[in-house]
Amino acid sequence: MELAKGGTPAGLIATTTFEPLAAAELRARGIGGLPLLVIDHPLGGEKPDGVLRRAQQAVRELVALIGVKP
């Protein structure tokens, strides 16, 4: 958030369960327009295939947010 306020491109990553908290935090901090990348909950206790799915989901979300392919 401090980076974004200083003009550095930045965003926030949250899982689905924490999306409302992350969105509220951005609004409360006055940076509601900051990109919010949301991936499936949970992160902890996941087997490797679950981690891979989230990584792929995160890349798709990131591409959608920044509009370019890696």
Partner 1 sequence: MTLLSEILELPDSPEAVFSAFCEREWCDGLPIIPPTLERVESMLGAVAGDPQESLGALPPLWREATLEKLAVNAVMAGCLPAHFPVVLTAVEAMLDPAFNLYGVQATTHPVAPLLILSGPYARAIGMHGGSGCFGPGFRANATIGRAIRLILMNVGGGWPGRHDMATQGSPAKFAYAIAENEAACPWAPLHVELGYAPDQSVVTVFGGEAPHNVNDHVSTGAAGILHTVSDTAATLGSNVKWYLSQSQLLLVLGPEHAATIAGDGLSKGEVKRFVFEHARLPLGTLKLGGMWGIQDWPEWMRAVTDDRTLLPIVASPEEIFVIVAGGAGKHSAVVPNSTFSRAVHRPLTRLLNGGHRE
Q: Which of residues 2-61 bind partner 1 (CB under 8 A)?
A: 17-18, 20-21, 24-25, 28-29, 44
Query: Which residues are registered as beta bridge partners of 12?
Result: 36
Nearer to partner 1 among residue 44 and residue 70 (C-beta): 44
- By rule CB under 8 A, what count of residues binds partner 1? 9
Least Å distance, CB 39 to partner 1, is 16
What are the DSSP E strand ranges found in 1-70?
A: 12-15, 36-39
Chain centre to alpha carbon of residue 27: 15
Question: 3 vs 24, which CB is nearer to partner 1?
Answer: 24
Please name the amino acid found at residue 61: E
Distance CA 69, CA 63 (A): 6
Q: Which residues bind partner 1 (CB under 8 A)?
A: 17-18, 20-21, 24-25, 28-29, 44
